[in-house]
Structure formats: C-alpha cells, structure tokens
Amino acid sequence: EVQLVESGGGLVQPGGSLRLSCVASGITRDDYAIGWFRTAPGKEREAVGCIRRRDGFTYYADVAQGRFTISTDNVKSTVYLHLNSLKREDTAVYSCTAPLIMCGDVGMAASPNYWGQGTQVTVSS
C-alpha cells in the first residue's frame, strides 16, 4: 500500500523559509515522480512542482518560480520542498502525491489515488 507522509509545516513570518518533507513508501517502481500541491483557504488545490526520481528533473508551477525548490533523497525515499521568501498568500495546506501521471516540461498531473494528509504552512507576522 502506498503511503505518503508530510511534515515540516508551521508558522513563519513573511520573508522566512521552511523545508517540507514527504516520505513515500509502498511504491514498487523506481522511475516515478512525486508532486507537491497546496490548498489555500477558500481556494482550489493548485500545483506547486514535481520531481522525477529517475533523473532528478524538476518542474515548477508559476507560484513556485524563483522561490521554491524541490530536492530528493532517494535513499531515504524522501522529497523536500524548500519554501523561501514566503508571502502571506503562501498560507495553505501543502500535500504530496505519488506516483504522478506526468511530471515534465509541459507541467504535472496527479493521480487521484495516493495523497498524504498534508502539512499546514501559515505565513503571518
């Protein structure tokens, strides 16, 4: 059974940074991609970015460009989302999902099946 567990969320001041973690287990293939999404209060879920385990390729949605980065520790089956220069509008529940249907130059697409429980990020002074 696929399980995804996020951690690392919390309260941070505007301009601050956080590192979120997503530990994946139960995925039997190595060439999969993991994605990050977020859901802000009153808004629909939106893509943040994704990474392919096979070659380390990363894709970032517009909300992440220049401020967020994704990295992976394949030994630990952990994917990290580094949040920098945080703004109040980044306040959301951040969730990871795997395996993705797609993570490539044109974007990312998630399967409806496997999601973590999410971790809350609150940006406030």
Residue 122 burial class via C-beta count within 10 angstroms: exposed 0-12, middle 13-18, buried 19 and up: middle
User: Each residue of 37-57: pLDDT tens digit?
Assistant: 999 999 999 999 999 988 999
User: Each residue of 8-37: pLDDT tens digit?
Assistant: 999 999 999 999 999 999 988 878 999 999
Residue labelled with tokens 């580094």: 82
How far is the C-alpha of 13 from the C-alpha of 1, rounded, in Å?
Answer: 37
Cβ atoms of residues 53 and 74 within 8 Å: yes
Q: Which of these, 100, 16, 98, 104, lies nearest to 58 by C-alpha position?
A: 104
Cβ atoms of residues 84 and 98 within 8 Å: no
User: Each residue of 86-116: pLDDT tens digit?
Assistant: 999 999 999 999 999 999 999 999 988 899 9
- What is the average pLDDT value for the chain, to the nearest integer? 94
